[in-house]
Structure 1
Amino acid sequence: MGNGALNGAVIAVAGAGGPAGRAALLRLARAGATVVGSDNDPERLAEAVDHARYEAGGATVTGDTVDLLDLNSTRDWANRVEKDFGRIDGLVHLVGGWRGSETFVKTSLDDWDFLELLLVKTVQHTSLAFFEGLQRSEHGRYVLISAAGASHPTAGNAAYAAAKAAAEAWTLALADAFHKAGGAAGPTSAAAILVVKALVHDAMRADRPNAKFAGFTDVTDLAEAIAGVWDKPASEVNGQRLWLTEKP
């Protein structure tokens, strides 16, 4: 199943307004998918949608302002996408954010409270809201973007790494649900985790022209890897951590 699986597919992208979201919208649209982005910043979302629509030559790219911290709002979004387009074949979870500290003992638990909402609660809500729709698809995919720090936390990143690890564990539980739903024939839908060290984009390079960004993944390469999750059968990617950087 190549990227032809994306031609005519309906893919939702959570956190579509950021640099990674912009790249994902464009890559998926160019593959022929109908793409529905969400972001909590309407202006940023509109810019990302317009950019993808224009660069992909008039592809169907739309945007919804959704409160992913509210389960009912997230469920309404999932139901609306499936009702409007007749199917849902993917949810790409790009909601991100970072807070850290100089040392372990200087960790602020306010940072944990913030990151738990942003990085864990949103994953819980999108996975619960989209599960049934993705299971109805012949090639449904739930794609989480995670960080190498979840497997190798550093002292100043305790809150961030713990939140990312929790999001990974939740996504692997979703993968097990897809596995169980597939029965003896194997899963038809899959949940996969793409692991990066950190992301980099052109604006970051312009701001720091001398920085090497060693081990960082460019958002365009991330978008390519996201599209690639549809290249393989569900059984090969379900429950897998797909590393885009060196394992720690």
Structure 2
Amino acid sequence: MTDSTETTAKGYEGNGKGRLEGSVIAVAGAAGPAGQATLLRLAEEGATVVAADADAERLATAVDAARFAHGGATVTGDTVDLLSLDATRAWVDRTEKEFGRIDGLVHLVGGWRGSASFAETDLADWDTLHNLLLRTLQHTSLAFEAPLERSGNGRFVLVSAAGAAKPTAGNAAYAASKAAAEAWTLALGDAFRKAGGEDGPAAAAVILVVKALVHDQMRADRPNAKFAGFTDVKDLAEAIATTWTKPAEELNGTRLWLTPKP
């Protein structure tokens, strides 16, 4: 898949309308296990799903899986450089022009760097994580703010980590990046609140907090591991889909914990 290449499924008669029928939802960082599960769930609920990732090959696989599993949905894939604000805004413009609206952005761009101790922290890890976890979020939030407000029921969803609230010595760079991403998302929520005025926000910025994620391949690779407190990517995908069924005013600017608070 190259830039602006799309994979689309249309015209298949499904078994009924889902909760997200008529919605157009973008997923950033869609090629990983969490992204794959999210594409499947959103497609199952009837949404038009617009997926983006920097890895064209893995993205094509994820899009194809959602497309063939739920033929009643439209699923597209586009390689986007989210480290470029211009490229991110161009992605938004293409999406809104083609589908007429954007009702959600699910931010799943991730990465991890850590060390054995605080003293051994490599500040190069901060640079990497700043780009992956924060800069991409800044670009998606700035680019999607206006379309999500125009939607009337827009959602900006960030998946964060419990470590942001209780950092450990070897995860200083990771936890700080996640904490900064949460603060940025809450600021977006305040923008939605102010734009809504007395009528309340027309869109919601919400943070889903996990300890870590687990998927079927991880369990197969480590059959004796317990993965205590981990959130299955399928459960994460369900929590993401459910955010559109709750009032924006109730969700906006909140953290929803999918694991016990530390």
* TM-score (normalizing by structure 1): 0.98
Residue pair 1:5, 1:139 contacting (<8 A) in 2 also: no
* Secondary structure class of the residue paired with 1:106: coil
Q: Deviations over 1:54-102 (max 9, x none)?
A: 0112420000100000000000001111001000000000001101000
User: 2:67 — aligned with what?
Assistant: 53
* CA positional deviation for 1:6: 1.4
Work out the CA distance in 2 between the residues paired with 1:210 and 1:128.
43
- Note if 1:128 corresponds to 2:122: no
Percent identity for Structure 1 against Structure 2: 74
Whole-angstrom CA distance in 2 between matches of 1:208 and 1:58: 35
2:202 aligned with 1:188: yes
Distance 2:193 2:19 in 1: 20
Which blocks of at least 5 consecutive residues in structure 1 are unaligned? none
- Residue by residue over 1:175-214, the C-alpha shift from the partner in whole angstroms, topping out at 9 and shown as x without a partner, is 0000000001110100000000000000111111100000
- The root-mean-square deviation of aligned C-alpha atoms, in Å, is 0.9
Q: Distance in 1 between matches of 2:18 and 2:233?
A: 22
Q: Is 1:7 the equivalent of 2:21?
A: yes
Q: For residues 122-170 of structure 1, what are the alpha-carbon distances to aligned partners after superposition, in whole Å with 9 as ceiling and x for unaligned?
A: 0000000010000100100000000000000000000000000000000
Within the alignment, does 1:236 sit opposite 2:236 as a pair?
no
Q: Aligned partners of 2:208, 2:21: CA distance in 1, in Å?
A: 22
2:86 to 72, 77, 80: 72
Q: For residue 192 of structure 1, give the secondary structure of its aligned residue in structure 2.
A: strand
The residue type equivalent to 2:129 in the other structure is: L
Q: State the distance in 2 between where 1:139 and 1:185 align.
A: 13
Quick check: 1:35 aligned with 2:30?
no
Question: Which runs of no fewer than 5 residues in structure 2 stay unpaired?
Answer: 1-16
Choose 123-132 or 54-63, whichever is displaced more.
Answer: 54-63
Q: TM-score, normalised by structure 2?
A: 0.93
